[in-house]
Structure 1
Amino acid sequence: MSSIKKVVDKAYDGRKIREYLKEELGLSSRLIRSASVDKRIFVNNKAVKMNYILNANDNILIDLMKDETQNIDPENIPIDVVYEDEDIIVVNKGPNMVVHPTKRHQSGTLANALMYYFKESNQKCIVRLVSRLDMDTSGLIIIGKNQYAHMELSKEMTLNNIEKRYLAVVHGHMENAEGTIDLPIYRPEEEGTIRRVVDERGQRSITHYKVVERYKDSDLVECLLETGRTHQIRVHLSHLGHPIWGDTLYGKKDDNIVIKRQALHAYGLDFKSPRTKKELSLRAKLPNDIENLIESLK
């Protein structure tokens, strides 16, 4: 059973358990309400209401597992699990895979694969995405296994406390070996467009970059995101005159048969475990299609 266990400090003696859960554990009102209704909050092994008055040294247990359903069919699709514990699972998504079902892609998604994985491993979880990637971008994605983990990591994501590192193969040589791109990104009000542009009307967007390797007429560039706008890396690099190989939306249609998508890979995540606050540093190696592209450019 996935749960949070705590012993009440004397500072909370005589106070309501609701106050303790919000102040000491940082739980949201929504999570507290849900767990209370389902009778998943216990003090000294007895389910309690939220007006319960605490005593010092009371043993609190919050059962994080909730019976939930999700309208996503399990599909036997292999997934690359990079890290897993009772609260989260981090997977290395392959290229050309949609993360979550859409009208155009109702099956074959990462969410379908995860539902099958949870079912086969006897885990009563639904797919709670903390992060997402475009269909053609490969790399690491975080999924929360329970409401608590999802809430904590989503909050960390909003505060930019989750470090996201990418590798991109770009056309040409960057003028500077490293630097910061601080340019606003805007979505033009054109019907049906998904393309973004650098425009002063947009949101502030910050990408730190460093050239890792140089090839004949291309660079392998590491990008560290300070903000997380849609298509941020692709827009920023293209704006500098160095579009990513294979990116037909922000670059050019490459006369290239080596790679059939943008050469962009989310290779690194650094963040704290939602439960233990232990630092996690996760990495995923470059996929074969990007490795093959690099070999062709040397």
Structure 2
Amino acid sequence: MIPEDLVSRVLYRDAAALIMDKPAGLMVHAGPSGGEHLQMYLSALRFGERRDPELAHRLDKETSGCLVLGRHKKALAQLGALFAQGLAAKTYWAMVVGRTRDTEGVMDFPLKKRERSHGWRMEVDRSGQASTTQWRLLGCDGRLSWLECKPLTGRTHQIRAHCAAMGHPLVGDAIYGRGTGTLAGDRLLLHSRHIELPLYPAKPPISATAPVPEHMRDYLVACGWAD
């Protein structure tokens, strides 16, 4: 990634916050095995500030779309509080396997992190953390369904684990939807489409909508999306 690419992905900017369109396949921070990550390039998003912006939350490596950054310490604390209190309104688009029986609903499954010999994953467990996701069917081609998912809590892998628990794993999900990778060339079809944050009490929420990534376009069109 070059600085010009990163700047072109900025969806919203003010004195306190940035919202950018994170590309799929890019980690937001350094992983245990190293490799390229977003924090390597954040100096390109200073826009006159003395320090780099910092992550206000995280997206999985393979998830694309709206990612929020704070431009200074006070803003980071304010943004962090909004996410911690569940006041960030997040909307994701997900392509899942199969046709859902209902057209909308709530996935209310507590989640707990489990360590396995081949790695960790989030599993539904009564002793886990409360986790809630609202969902709505936006389209279907008979084989795959296009869902709008709104997580009301912010658990790791929440949408991925919830959809799998509902019986409709995300296409391309190597952890929760094994065997679905061939449907999308091993690309996870999950996109952070829109976000709203009530950052300023006397003003409307700041917001941004991320464009649909190329690797999801054909699947969405097949399910009825019109560009």
Whether 1:117 aligns to 2:45 is yes
Superposition map of 1:32-43 within 5 A: none
Q: 2:30 aligns with which of 95, 98, 101?
A: 101
Whether 1:227 aligns to 2:131 is no
Whether 1:179 aligns to 2:179 is no
Task: State the secondary structure of the residue aligned to 1:196.
Answer: strand
1:200 Cα offset (Å): 0.8
Task: State the secondary structure of the residue aligned to 1:99.
Answer: coil
Superposition map of 1:263-278 within 5 A: 263-274=189-200, 277-278=203-204
Conservation of the 8 A alpha-carbon contact between 2:89 and 2:197: yes
Q: 2:81 aligns with which of 139, 143, 155?
A: 155
Conservation of the 8 A alpha-carbon contact between 1:163 and 1:224: yes
Which runs of structure 1 show a deviation greater than 6 angstroms over 4 or more consecutive aligned residues?
none
Give the AA of the match of 1:143: L
1:250 Cα offset (Å): 0.4
Residue by residue over 1:62-89, the C-alpha shift from the partner in whole angstroms, topping out at 9 and shown as x without a partner, is: xxxxxxxxxxxx9646220000011111
Tell me what 1:238 maps to.
164
Task: State the secondary structure of the residue aligned to 2:78.
Answer: helix
Whether 1:78 aligns to 2:5 is yes
Give the AA of the match of 1:269: I
Larger Rg: 1
More strand by share: 2
CA RMSD of aligned residues (A): 2.2
- Give the TM-score normalised by structure 1: 0.69
Give the AA of the match of 1:102: G
Point out where structure 2 has 5 or more consecutive residues left out of the alignment.
none
1:296 Cα offset (Å): 6.0
Whether 1:90 aligns to 2:19 is yes
Matches of 2:42 and 2:148, distance apart in 1: 29
Conservation of the 8 A alpha-carbon contact between 1:258 and 1:292: no
Conservation of the 8 A alpha-carbon contact between 1:238 and 1:250: yes
Matches of 2:58 and 2:136, distance apart in 1: 23
Tell me what 1:141 maps to.
67
Residue by residue over 1:192-233, the C-alpha shift from the partner in whole angstroms, topping out at 9 and shown as x without a partner, is: 622111111211100000001111211100000110101000
Identity of aligned residues (%): 27
Q: How many residues align?
A: 222
Conservation of the 8 A alpha-carbon contact between 2:88 and 2:195: yes
Superposition map of 1:183-262 within 5 A: 183-190=109-116, 193-254=119-180, 256=182, 258-262=184-188
Matches of 2:59 and 2:34, distance apart in 1: 15
Tell me what 1:285 maps to.
211
CA distance change for structure 1 residues 194 and 127 in 2, over 3 Å: closer, same or farther? Answer: farther
Residue by residue over 1:179-199, the C-alpha shift from the partner in whole angstroms, topping out at 9 and shown as x without a partner, is: 111110011244662211111
